[in-house]
Amino acid sequence: MTRNRLYLMLGLGIAAGYGWVIWSSQNDALHSDLTPCLFKNATGIACPSCGSTRSVLLLSQGYFSKALLLNPLGIFMALIMVIAPFWLLYDIVLNKDTLYYNYKKAEDTIRIKWVAISLILLIILNWLWNIQKGH
């Protein structure tokens, strides 16, 4: 992936993420059964990321432990939503490649077999956690 394509996709993803969080917070998503998850809508079973938006909303209200229990991926998503816009802006304004360089480095690290297997196991455990909770 090229630098420009990564930055465009990340910028669009950030905008969509903030848009969804704003829409969700205005429509009381914490207490709603409405879900954009195609997997859950089709099967009735939560996917590994189900509850991430509600987790981010809880985190924004200061409920760290509730957010963590709802879906730990929400914590990771919130960190990306806070850090990525500033990092992206820094690189664009100063014409740097620090985000792109670290993305490539992370991509190479994830391709290491034991790292990939560990991450896949964590996602499976998170999925089982979501299914067990019934979310």
pLDDT tens for 103-129 read: 999 999 999 999 999 999 999 998 998
pTM of the model: 0.79
Q: What is the mean pLDDT of residues 86-101?
A: 96
Tell me what the pLDDT averaged over the chain comes to.
89
Q: In this structure, are residues 17 and 77 in contact, taking their beta carbons and an 8 Å threshold?
A: yes
Amino acid at 31: H
Binning pLDDT at 50, 70 and 90, where does residue 27 land? confident
Amino acid at 110: I
Q: What is the mean pLDDT of residues 10-34?
A: 80
For residue 32, the enclosing domain spans 3-133
Q: In this structure, are residues 88 and 7 in contact, taking their beta carbons and an 8 Å threshold?
A: yes
Binning pLDDT at 50, 70 and 90, where does residue 135 land? low
Distances (CA, A) of 38 to 42, 48, 109: 6, 12, 30
Helices (DSSP H) in 27-112: which residue ranges? 38-43, 52-60, 64-70, 73-94, 98-110
Domain total in the chain: 1
